[in-house]
Amino acid sequence: MNAIYILWLRELKRYFRSKARILGSLGQPLLFLFALGFGLGPVFQRAGQGNYFQFLAPGVIAMSILFTAIFAGIQVIWDKQFGFLKETLVAPVSRFNIMLGKTLGGATIATIQGIIVFLLSLVVGFRPELTLLPLMLLFMFLIAVFFTALGISIASQLSDMQGFQLIMNFLVQPVFFLSGALFPLGNLPKVFSYIVAIDPLSYGVDGIRGSLTGVTHFGLSVDIFVLGVLTVIVLSIGSYLFSKIQL
């Protein structure tokens, strides 16, 4: 447990030492909130779907968590290239604890990022229901743990930044755009509905949106169950892959 805590704390220190990283990671969510929220708002309202900003804000919160979490894998590749990971792996600590510590550290950072975007959305004009705020935090953390573990799992099998960025471009963008973060999931073509249903982020976005606005597509209980099961699965796979790292 001490090793997990130390690695978790080290990841947090890295994050808070880099103010440029904190500010830079807010650029994309703010762009989506302003450009899409206010740009497509009138179109969404004329289509009879209500206030688009209320619909969009939970999706943007999930997006900020997704990108922050999954790119925690880059830090693993960085540590691998410069020898820092080797120093960690030779310590008398199980690789599962090392992977879990890094995952929890990256997930905590991603959750903090999501909370910051949530607060910014309140300033911009988002008006959520706050009765299920703790449930929103649970969904945020589940999304963060899942995608941090996924990013670290992928990074553990790669040796350079270029390979990681290539995989992320073919994984992260489809996962985000097919999650229902930007559009309602009702009345979709059947094939498209199946694709959305196998996207893990769909349940995270739906859970956050349901917690903040009371509107869900799958149901909050389904969202929690699916995200919880998938998180356990990806942590198990990730710990196995991390144990096979060759330095």
User: Total structural domains in the chain?
Assistant: 1
Residue pLDDT, tens place only, 10-64: 766 666 666 556 666 777 888 888 777 777 766 666 655 667 888 889 999 999 9
Is residue 105 a contact partner of residue 8, using CB atoms and an 8 Å limit? yes
Task: Give pLDDT, residue 88.
Answer: 66
pLDDT tens-place string over residues 110-165:
999 999 999 989 888 888 888 889 999 999 999 999 999 998 888 877 777 777 77
The CB-based long-range contact list for 98-101 (8 Å cut-off, 24+ gap) reads: 98/3, 98/7, 98/242, 99/149, 99/152, 99/156, 99/238, 99/239, 99/242, 99/243, 100/4, 100/235, 100/239, 101/3, 101/4, 101/5, 101/6, 101/7, 101/8, 101/11
What confidence tier does 89 reach under pLDDT thresholds 50, 70, 90? Answer: low
Least-confidence region, from 91-100, 116-125, 194-203: 91-100
Angle (deg, nearest 10), helices 52-70 and 133-155: 40
Among candidate residues 205, 210, 206, 203, the one with its CA nearest the CA of residue 231: 203
* Residue 14 CB-density burial (10 A; 0-12 exposed, 13-18 middle, 19+ buried): middle
* Structural domain that includes position 88: 2-243
- What is this structure's pTM? 0.88
pLDDT, greater one: 246 or 109:
109
pLDDT at 204: 95
